[in-house]
Homo-oligomer: A and B are copies of this chain.
Amino acid sequence: MVDVARAAGVGLGTVSRVVNEDPNVRSYLVERVNEAIAALGYRRDERARQLRRGVSGTLGAAVRGISRANPVLRAVERVARSNDLMVLATSTEDDERLEKEVVMAMCRQGFDGLIIEPTAARHDYLVPEIRAGLAIVAFDRQMRGAKVDHVICDNRLGIELAFRHLVDHGHSRIGYIGDFERIFTGRERANAFRRCVARHGGSVDGLVHTGGDSDPERIGAALDAMTSKRWPVTAVITGNANCTIQTLARLRSEAHAPAVVGFDDDETALLLRPDLTVVAQDSEAVGRTAVELLRERIADPGLAPRRVTTPVQLIVRGSGKLPPR
């Protein structure tokens, strides 16, 4: 920039003003500066700019996996963009150590705010960062040990809607296949399911199968266990998209498949079974809210931590209406 100033025969400040489109510069100077910029191939260094200005106009996102379908992240990017914020994302691979590493790196990076899909069991390591004024929002899963804003869908209601729908269609033995219960959503949904069964006056014995959601063997075994018993289930609720897909893949060749309601409205699952009834999250709302909370907190870091519950909705397409047999 100093070279540009020299070449244009102006002061450093003037170049800066031109680059930042300050209207208070004589037009012939603007021209001279722009010529010098073009001639020297000058481009401004964003780091130096941010260092000086204190804000970056950039949000950091640490999610389970970039290169993995994630409608929330999609919405986050869209909304951020419409607010002139750039989103730079990296993967945690759902690995505690890696998550801490990349999140800490992002903390030092000087982003205006961080959007995190939490993996770690506890997030005490973020306490100093939050105290230092960094804006952080968690989505989908809850963070323990750090008071940050949360955007989480109504897992409990989702399961209740699915359960009630199946009961309404005559099912009384309903099974559940879900993710690991050490993961927030896996735990929430499994517990919600248990409550539904209890309230309905039944026993959960043999009805709740949780574990790795990308393990076909495990899902197959769960289905076998629930269908080959003396009182087999007539319907199954699947706790997330992966469980749903594995279940549908397994059930495809089955003659008398149980009714199915899945949690999460997933493209792939719909390909497998176009009439799949699902509990759909409003991913758009989750993403939008996450960015909004972040912007509010950036504007006022003193805000008390908030927790927004986003709606879920039962989308009835047919697979839940299969009568018990």
Interfacial residues, chain A to chain B (CB-CB below 8 A): 41, 43-48, 50-51, 60, 63, 65-74, 77, 86-91, 102, 105, 107-110, 128-129, 131-132, 245, 249, 268, 271-272
Q: Which residue of B lies closest to A128 (CB)?
A: B41
Chain A to chain B contacts (Cβ below 8 Å), 27 pairs: A41-B128, A41-B131, A41-B132, A43-B107, A45-B108, A46-B109, A46-B110, A47-B51, A47-B109, A47-B110, A48-B51, A60-B88, A63-B67, A66-B67, A66-B73, A66-B89, A67-B69, A67-B70, A67-B73, A67-B77, A69-B69, A77-B90, A77-B91, A88-B90, A249-B271, A268-B268, A272-B272
Chain B residues with Cβ below 8 Å from A268 are 268, 271
Given contacts A60-B88, A67-B70, A89-B89, 7 further A-B contacts (CB under 8 A): A43-B107, A43-B129, A43-B132, A67-B74, A68-B69, A88-B90, A268-B268
Cα distance, A87 to B88, chains bound together (Å): 9
Q: Which residue of B lies closest to A61 (CB)?
A: B66
Chain B residues with Cβ below 8 Å from A43 are 107-108, 128-129, 132
Chain B residues with Cβ below 8 Å from A63 are 67
Interface centre among A43, A88, A245, A249 (most CB of B within 10 A): A88
Separation in Å of the A312 CB from the closest CB of chain B? 20
Chain B residues with Cβ below 8 Å from A102 are 86
Instruction: Tell me if A44 and B131 are in contact (CB < 8 A).
Output: no
Chain B residues with Cβ below 8 Å from A91 are 77
Cα distance, A213 to B129, chains bound together (Å): 44
Separation in Å of the A108 CB from the closest CB of chain B? 4
Chain B residues with Cβ below 8 Å from A109 are 46-47
Chain B residues with Cβ below 8 Å from A88 are 60, 88-90
Cα distance, A88 to B46, chains bound together (Å): 15
Instruction: Tell me if A108 and B44 are in contact (CB < 8 A).
Output: yes
Chain B residues with Cβ below 8 Å from A47 are 47, 50-51, 109-110
Chain B residues with Cβ below 8 Å from A128 are 41, 43
Chain B residues with Cβ below 8 Å from A67 are 63, 66, 68-74, 77
